Structure 1
Amino acid sequence: MPLLASPPPASVQPPTAPLPKPVSGLTTAEAQRRLRETGPNVLLTAARDTLLRLLLRQFASVTVLVLAVAAAVSVFTGDYLEGIAIGAVVLLNAAIGFALEWQARASMDALHALDVPQARALRDGQPRRIPAAELVPGDVLLLESGDLVPADADLLEAHQLQVNESALTGESLPVAKAPGVAPAEAPLAEQRQRVFKGTAVVDGNGRALVVATGMRTELGHVTKLVQSTRRPPTPLEVKLDVLGKQLIMLTGALTLGYVGLGWAQGQPLGQVLKTGVVLAVAAIPEGLAIVATLAMAFGTLRLARRHVLVKHLPAVETLGSTSVIVTDKTGTLTQNRIEVHSVWLPEGRADVPPPAGAPGTAACAATGVLAGPGFAHVQLLAALCNNATYHPTDPSRTTGDPLEIALWQLAGTPADGALAAAIRLAEQAFSADTRLMGTVHQLAPGRCLVAVKGATEAVLPHCRHQWTAAGPTPLSGEEKALWLVRAEELAANGLRTLAFASAEWPEHPGPDFVRDLAWVGLVAFLDPPRLEVAPALVACRTAGIRVIMATGDHPATARTVARQVGLLDNNDPGDVITGTELPDLLRHPNGAGRRRLHHAQVFARVSPAQKLDLITMFQQHHQVVGMTGDGVNDAPALRRADIGIAMGQRGTQVAAEAADLVLQDDGFGSIVVAIEQGRIILANIRTFLLYLMSCNLSEVLIVTSVAVLHPGVPLWPLQILFLNLLTDVFPALALALGAGPAGLMGHPPRPPKKPLLTGGDWRRTGLYALALTVGGVGAFGFARWEMGWSFDVCNNVLFYQMALVQLLHVFDFAADHRTFLRSEVTRNRYVWGALALCGSVLTATYLVPGLRALLNIGSLPPMAWALVAGFGLLSVLLVQVGRWVAAAGKHPLAEVA
């Protein structure tokens, strides 16, 4: 089976008909003709299941089928009340399933929100605002700062055009765009000549020729991936399905065996069928779906208090089973904003502390290079050669290029007051040709300052000197070469750099003022890592979870961030697999390639389809995969993963809709909290499953044993349903809401192939059930053959004895049987609440006439209550003795879920 998803379609070329000259655009008639050929520029919606189909799916279960047959048999034999009661349980389970699926349905509305309602294009030679849905290949777009790009288009001209593509490519920094030709196989992040639908223009302006619209755009391709990607069933759903099938086989074998035995003994057919119905009802834990749902819902409430929104209830348990987390970089491991990382001046290199007030940081005192005059001069130039509008106390009023905003944060308030007195006299705007920007400022009468910033290789040729506090000093060719090497070193570490230079003149130097400059130094930028990520990664490693970065950003940037957050050790050379290498490694995995795939921590320049390939690869190796992300490009992988985790603050709505969990605080550390909660829920589910299975199996054994020893039906179906939905459900729910065993995060995740109940669990269940059966059969037999009471009285004694023993059985599930009074069960307030509630309802069944009639309860002599209590305590005592014996022999049965 191939691991690779279908490759994205080749870029759609302009129509074969001659295109108009860029200055004129399409005519209205030609645009309408092309619109009929290509269709509207909109994203299509995937068909959804109807409500009726969603509802009918809830009845496509073998368990539901068995209960439905039991209800039909009850009606056939004249027990209409039992039939109605069983049918009500079927409808209740179906309603729960319907509610879960309805909650889990994710829409594509967020993708459509990225569709731009209006666009500016040339039509009939004139700029016009038209509905974006009417754009066609061949239209000429007019782009300005603040626009959302309405279609994929190749640039015809660009003036300082920068586009934020982080949601589509994962690259956090705005991308400078210019006309040109990119290599045929260039990743999206390297196609600088093209703008993409749904991305945002943050600076400059330009014109572009539309080459793809609607579902043919890159955003349309992501939409197709999301629509075609199916969320796999969660491990809990798979395991519960396997458990359900095991119960059906057990129920079928016991029921058919008893019916055959009764038929062979000549018992009446009606009585045999009634007993078969009772066995079927007793064997199936009708409250399982209710308890599991409420347990997971309670876990979601706990997580909500920790800013984790759960959209799909079983996702909580899935996260607890996660063995691999594939995480995006931008906005997940980093803050998705630009800060100055370091400076490299003639005095030396220094890391710049985050600006005061930045999230999770504090102001740091300047020392060394940062306290010198060279750094103060860089701060002045950063503020002067800058067109951003900066309001440190009101971020909503801060606008402009993110790099220039970061420079304002670096600048602060220059100490010498020169900034306040500076008057801008001239500007040379940044262009793709010059790759630099320059400004001229009058600082005082007779003193003009030229401030220049740009690419290192563009600024250095204009420098003849090097700036010092005492004045300029000569800059040799060897020193220029050294600065180029330094800039390359910063770039190799994943940092984006700007070079700064300046010159002072007694008067305005004229229009050609970018000359005779003094080199000042380099400023390096980086999307800063989130502070909580490093300790969260340590917790993941302790819990046996492998974390992998998959980003569309540059390999050097990915490697640097991975080292900063602790994903890679500083001594680790950091093998980064790129998107160009990945297809061959997946198609032809030899020994070395397989080792690279399974040991690499960082994947860079990967496309949305390649993220799907990675997740599929790990899933095929039986890993439970979690995927975190925040961009449009992450949506298909979020849906395909076993558990999708989206960032809620900085993330796109598309990612949130595709995910199962949304981190409302964007904190990677919240994932660790969710993992721990998932493991607690899984441990609690196993505990209450053991409780339910032992109770239900004891019911089956009691009914079978008594029916064989004494002709007749020892319990009515309605009484069994009452036990299963009251004395089973509430204690089981109390166990499900407990704090769980300690130390769960110090162990590796539970293997996905390991069943919920292992062989040891089934043996323990069998022993518990036998202990409970001894008490039930003993109570019925003593009442019938020693006391000589009527069958109806014996039925009532057995009913209350089973109710009592099931309530007391909850204390058998403490992890440490030696600390009964201090165990997690006795300290669980929900357990005591469940016992009080069930005790009150059981008392009402005897005192309230209507309930007595419903359950066929008659008056009982005082001795009957003594039998109920005595044989109830006998069963619990037998269980405790068995636990002590197993623990003394260090037998696996001593383990408790």
Structure 2
Amino acid sequence: MVPAAAPPPTPAPGLTTAEAQRRLRETGPNVLVTIARDTLLRLIIRQFQSITVLVLAVAAAVSVFTGDYLEGIAIGAVVLLNAAIGFALEWQARASMDALHALDVPQARALRDGQPRRIPAAELVPGDVLLLEAGDLVPADADLLDAHQLQVNESALTGESLPVAKVPGVAPAGTPLAEQRQRVFKGTAVVDGNGRALVVATGMRTELGHVTKLVQSTERPPTPLETKLDALGKQLLWLTGALTLGYVGLGWAQGQPLGQVLKTGVVLAVAAIPEGLAIVATLAMAFGTLRLARQRVLVKHLPAVETLGSTSVIVTDKTGTLTQNRIEVHTVWLPEGRAEVMPTARPDAGECAAAGVLAGPGFAHVQLLAALCNNATYHPTDPSRTTGDPLEIALWQLAGTLPGGALAAANRLAEQAFSADTRLMGTVHQLAPGRCLVAVKGATEAVLPHCCHQWTAAGPVLLSTEEKALWLARAEELATNGLRTLAFASAEWPEHPGSDFVRELAWVGLVAFLDPPRLEVAPALAACRTAGIRVIMATGDHPATARTVARQVGLLDRNDDGDVITGDELPDLLRHPNGAGRRRLHRAQVFARVSPAQKLDLITYYQQGSQVVGMTGDGVNDAPALRRADIGIAMGQRGTQVAAEAADLVLQDDAFGSIVVAIEQGRVILANIRTFLLYLMSCNLSEVLIVTSVAVLHPGVPLWPLQILFLNLLTDVFPALALALGPGPAGLMTRPPRSPKKPLLTGRDWRRTGLYALALTIGGVGAFSFARWKMGWSFEVCNNVLFYQMALVQLLHVFDFAADHRTFWRSEVVRNRYVWGALALCGAVVMATYLVPGLRALLNIVPLPPAALGLIVGFSLLSVLLVQAGRWVAASDSKAVAEAA
């Protein structure tokens, strides 16, 4: 909570214009400093912050140094292409976010020079007197001078889903934010009533400003994919350096010309670096974002979509995320019994009404009282015209089945407005000549003393003291379950009962309200459990309300009391996580009355436990945690601008179920990234082994840098991209999340990569050696044979990555239409390199003898057969081990 200094003395008519201008010069404008965004230059620089880019830049420089300007330019072009794709996609995501920005509170009504004036909200200063009424957004933090049925929706700031009734005064020091009934806060919405308030804080000194500072001071952690790609880049750097220096040293010792040794070193460097990796990874994630965009999920930061695939814990807000952030009648408790009436949360409510409490005369009478003792304006077919207290709007929805004629005939004769003193509201209605109805609603302890009877269809019966105590206990039970409760009573008179009509009432029953849960949340939570993802609720709302909503959405069992940890308990548990405290933190699924800073601490706690944490939210109070989480997910429809700015993903339909769709897409992307990495690395490693082996066996440069670049950017990239765009293996959402400690390629993956590369190397070295030694062809012809053999075998190698080689023709690779498109395209371009004179000259292609085609195809099939044999042996060994176990 931001401590507010004592407000400056203010004249009764408010500030003068001169005094307001003086204070504005001292305090500055009443605006929030927006979250800093990357500049255009920083976006460009970020595209080049990669170890692999550094290696390629060095290779380009060496090529230029040795006079191979064309190779140097080609390598530099690859670097620029990668950077251009990454920049374009990030810039597009940023432009999409600009469309979501909402304006800050533009205008405010305040007393200036003794007159009500509408002034820019940015010009408000401490000491101004605000004039507030229903529909206003509060432009600054202010203490109330007077209030008339003033209710404010503070859910964006505190997590409280129900409007807060405000009263004049100054909150005692140390009062929690959610309990400050005497103060209104910048960015919250007035939903009913009116009042005047004295501004005590503006701009960054408001509670909203405090949260904004917390967001700006919170650093976003690198995504798991960025970390793993960086680690892979370092591994490639060491591999490239070791191979290049080793070969250069060997060539120098053999007395080979320096120029030739350096050229081969450049070839090795280019061969070791999968130039297409950044392109394919970026396009794979971009394709995933397009799929998610069709599901109304906006991805701001490309690696974020992959991070969802590794998410093991989701910390979710309650209001607006698990619930609809509006009020509905949840329960009615009548003398006939208790029943839940929540149509949006319980599709079977109609069945309940068919036989039971909701079909009885008592419920019909409550519906009548709810409509009559009501000042809201309700338009069921046009929500934009519905205004008033959210509780009274919910009562209109409860009374929706009443015939319109019955309400139109009930002429209102008198009203006793709700006040903080009486805590009830009453109205008198002329139902018919000689029949007046008194309708009363209010707090249970305020209504019961005026009741001497209990309403029944046959007429009122005596209400005993014991029964009054029972109804008080029932109201307390509802409140303990997190429901806001209103009591209803009525009386009938033959004529107008006079001004003091709240007397001799007949008790009718209780009506309890709750923010209804979203219908899609329960199945989404079940899907998360199946996928091994733990979902935790962290809200600023009351513990009882949090527990009730957790039961309704299936986060807790309906018969489970559930351990709810409050914000008061959390600091000690986090500071001293002893055995019992750690077990309690590990078991708890609901955290209530937590502040924005405590949500931040909670996320940090799970991250320190090696969890990948996702955070969902829509309010200003969620923004710091959204920024700190590994993946921040904001609600786009009802969410605040601050939350959307801090998040990585924005759900434009506010549906929690969209998170499950995004998680599945993230897992598909991660699985596909690992698949095409295996493909690329095995291809590149085989290139390194082939170049090294051939250079040792047949001194010279076996392939030119441009030829290697052609292979890496065509016969590697397009098949790899096809693998990246595939549907992924089946059953991803029935597996636990992948551990963030695991590298992208495990030791088993590297062994598999090495075996694949060895099989490809055997074919390549065999083709070159056979052509050179057996056929006696020139070095240029052997170079071309090796070039085309490597191109063909790499295209065929894509089929080695089916999840199960025993169902080859039904595998996801064979059924992937992108694979066949990539093969057709690459095949056509490879043929063009031989048939088009310009391409032939660029790649140093010479006419080949007819026997070369058979040699190229034969040694390519040899490599493919070796790979398939190795996969069959490995699968048989795994099956034998499993059966033995």
Deviation (angstroms), 1:652? 2.7
Q: 1:112 to 1:855 in 2, by over 3 A?
A: closer
SS at match of 1:206: strand
* Partner Cα separation in structure 2 for residue 587 and residue 100 of structure 1: 42
Offset from partner CA, 1:313-368 (integer Å, 9 cap, x none): 21111101000000111111111121111111111111124179xx9987864422
Q: 1:338 to 1:407 in 2, by over 3 A?
A: same
Q: 1:875 to 1:111 in 2, by over 3 A?
A: closer
CA contact under 8 A between 2:413 and 2:429: conserved in structure 1? yes
Deviation (angstroms), 1:545? 0.5
* Partner Cα separation in structure 2 for residue 112 and residue 83 of structure 1: 44
Offset from partner CA, 1:194-216 (integer Å, 9 cap, x none): 10001111111111111110000
Quick check: 80-89 or 166-175, which moved more? Answer: 166-175
CA contact under 8 A between 1:844 and 1:851: conserved in structure 2? yes
Match of 2:305 in 1: 316
Offset from partner CA, 1:16-58 (integer Å, 9 cap, x none): 9xxxxx6322233332222222111111234444322332232
Deviation (angstroms), 1:123? 2.4
* Partner Cα separation in structure 1 for residue 99 and residue 45 of structure 2: 28
CA contact under 8 A between 1:110 and 1:654: conserved in structure 2? no
Matches within 5 A, 1:562-581: 562-581=550-569
Q: 1:518 to 1:527 in 2, by over 3 A?
A: same
Matches within 5 A, 1:629-648: 629-648=617-636
Q: 1:175 to 1:736 in 2, by over 3 A?
A: same
Quick check: 735-744 or 184-193, which moved more? Answer: 184-193
CA contact under 8 A between 2:86 and 2:282: conserved in structure 1? no
Q: 1:813 to 1:266 in 2, by over 3 A?
A: same
SS at match of 2:350: coil
Deviation (angstroms), 1:865? 1.0
Deviation (angstroms), 1:748? 0.6
Quick check: 90-99 or 797-806, which moved more? Answer: 90-99
Match of 2:385 in 1: 397
CA contact under 8 A between 1:226 and 1:635: conserved in structure 2? yes
* Partner Cα separation in structure 2 for residue 13 and residue 572 of structure 1: 47
* Partner Cα separation in structure 2 for residue 106 and residue 327 of structure 1: 27
Deviation (angstroms), 1:475? 1.5
Deviation (angstroms), 1:417? 4.8
CA contact under 8 A between 2:540 and 2:594: conserved in structure 1? yes
Deviation (angstroms), 1:550? 0.7
Q: 1:417 to 1:896 in 2, by over 3 A?
A: farther
* Partner Cα separation in structure 1 for residue 425 and residue 883 of structure 2: 71
Q: 1:702 to 1:112 in 2, by over 3 A?
A: closer
Deviation (angstroms), 1:251? 0.2
CA contact under 8 A between 1:764 and 1:893: conserved in structure 2? no
Offset from partner CA, 1:462-484 (integer Å, 9 cap, x none): 11211111222222222111111
Deviation (angstroms), 1:779? 0.5
CA contact under 8 A between 1:114 and 1:198: conserved in structure 2? no
* Partner Cα separation in structure 2 for residue 103 and residue 15 of structure 1: 50
Deviation (angstroms), 1:85? 0.1
Q: 1:355 to 1:829 in 2, by over 3 A?
A: closer
Offset from partner CA, 1:756-800 (integer Å, 9 cap, x none): 000010011011101100100010011111111111000000000
SS at match of 2:95: coil
Q: 1:557 to 1:463 in 2, by over 3 A?
A: same
* Partner Cα separation in structure 2 for residue 343 and residue 49 of structure 1: 53
CA contact under 8 A between 2:706 and 2:843: conserved in structure 1? yes
Match of 2:63 in 1: 74
Quick check: 328-337 or 38-47, which moved more? Answer: 38-47
Offset from partner CA, 1:143-189 (integer Å, 9 cap, x none): 11111111001111110000111111111111111124545333322
Offset from partner CA, 1:285-339 (integer Å, 9 cap, x none): 0000111111112222222232322222211111010000001111111111211
* Partner Cα separation in structure 2 for residue 653 and residue 360 of structure 1: 37
Match of 2:79 in 1: 90
Q: Does 1:705 align with 2:707?
A: no
CA contact under 8 A between 1:813 and 1:896: conserved in structure 2? no
Offset from partner CA, 1:498-540 (integer Å, 9 cap, x none): 0001111121111121112111110011111112211111111
CA contact under 8 A between 1:886 and 1:893: conserved in structure 2? no
Q: Does 1:133 align with 2:127?
A: no
Quick check: 492-501 or 328-337, which moved more? Answer: 328-337
Q: 1:586 to 1:427 in 2, by over 3 A?
A: same
* Partner Cα separation in structure 1 for residue 881 and residue 712 of structure 2: 25
* Partner Cα separation in structure 1 for residue 439 and residue 292 of structure 2: 52
CA contact under 8 A between 2:7 and 2:199: conserved in structure 1? no
Quick check: 601-610 or 690-699, which moved more? Answer: 601-610
Offset from partner CA, 1:196-252 (integer Å, 9 cap, x none): 001111111111111110000011112112222222211111101100110010000
Deviation (angstroms), 1:591? 2.2
Quick check: 366-375 or 235-244, which moved more? Answer: 366-375
* Partner Cα separation in structure 2 for residue 66 and residue 418 of structure 1: 82
* Partner Cα separation in structure 1 for residue 539 and residue 852 of structure 2: 71
CA contact under 8 A between 1:110 and 1:657: conserved in structure 2? no
CA RMSD of aligned residues (A): 2.4
* Partner Cα separation in structure 1 for residue 830 and residue 103 of structure 2: 58
CA contact under 8 A between 2:90 and 2:300: conserved in structure 1? no
Offset from partner CA, 1:778-834 (integer Å, 9 cap, x none): 100111111111110000000000000000111111111111222111111111111
Q: 1:361 to 1:337 in 2, by over 3 A?
A: farther
Q: 1:129 to 1:171 in 2, by over 3 A?
A: same
Q: 1:333 to 1:285 in 2, by over 3 A?
A: same
* Partner Cα separation in structure 2 for residue 35 and residue 680 of structure 1: 54
* Partner Cα separation in structure 1 for residue 344 and residue 210 of structure 2: 39
CA contact under 8 A between 1:354 and 1:363: conserved in structure 2? no
Offset from partner CA, 1:659-695 (integer Å, 9 cap, x none): 2222222221221121111111111110110000000
CA contact under 8 A between 1:15 and 1:137: conserved in structure 2? no
Q: 1:295 to 1:784 in 2, by over 3 A?
A: same
Offset from partner CA, 1:352-408 (integer Å, 9 cap, x none): 24179xx99878644221121111111110000011111222222222111111111
TM-score by length of structure 1 reads 0.95
SS at match of 2:349: coil
SS at match of 1:113: coil
Quick check: 269-278 or 584-593, which moved more? Answer: 584-593
* Partner Cα separation in structure 1 for residue 724 and residue 99 of structure 2: 36
CA contact under 8 A between 2:97 and 2:300: conserved in structure 1? no
CA contact under 8 A between 1:545 and 1:748: conserved in structure 2? yes
Deviation (angstroms), 1:629? 1.2
Deviation (angstroms), 1:106? 9.1
Q: 1:630 to 1:35 in 2, by over 3 A?
A: same
Q: 1:270 to 1:194 in 2, by over 3 A?
A: same
Deviation (angstroms), 1:459? 0.9
Offset from partner CA, 1:702-728 (integer Å, 9 cap, x none): 000011111110000000000000000
CA contact under 8 A between 1:425 and 1:441: conserved in structure 2? yes
Structure 2 unpaired stretches of 5+: none
CA contact under 8 A between 1:147 and 1:201: conserved in structure 2? yes
CA contact under 8 A between 2:376 and 2:387: conserved in structure 1? yes
From 301, 316, 330, the counterpart of 1:327: 316
From 857, 862, 880, the counterpart of 1:892: 880
* Partner Cα separation in structure 1 for residue 580 and residue 256 of structure 2: 71
CA contact under 8 A between 1:887 and 1:894: conserved in structure 2? no
Offset from partner CA, 1:80-104 (integer Å, 9 cap, x none): 1101000101111222332344355
CA contact under 8 A between 1:448 and 1:504: conserved in structure 2? yes
CA contact under 8 A between 1:883 and 1:894: conserved in structure 2? no
* Partner Cα separation in structure 2 for residue 686 and residue 892 of structure 1: 26
Determine what percentage of the aligned residue pairs are the same residue. 90
Matches within 5 A, 1:592-611: 592-611=580-599
SS at match of 2:174: coil
SS at match of 2:492: strand
Offset from partner CA, 1:420-450 (integer Å, 9 cap, x none): 2111111111111111111111111111111
Match of 2:113 in 1: 124
* Partner Cα separation in structure 1 for residue 680 and residue 507 of structure 2: 77
CA contact under 8 A between 2:455 and 2:461: conserved in structure 1? yes
From 257, 261, 266, the counterpart of 2:250: 261
Deviation (angstroms), 1:12? 7.3
Deviation (angstroms), 1:592? 1.9
Match of 1:354 in 2: 343
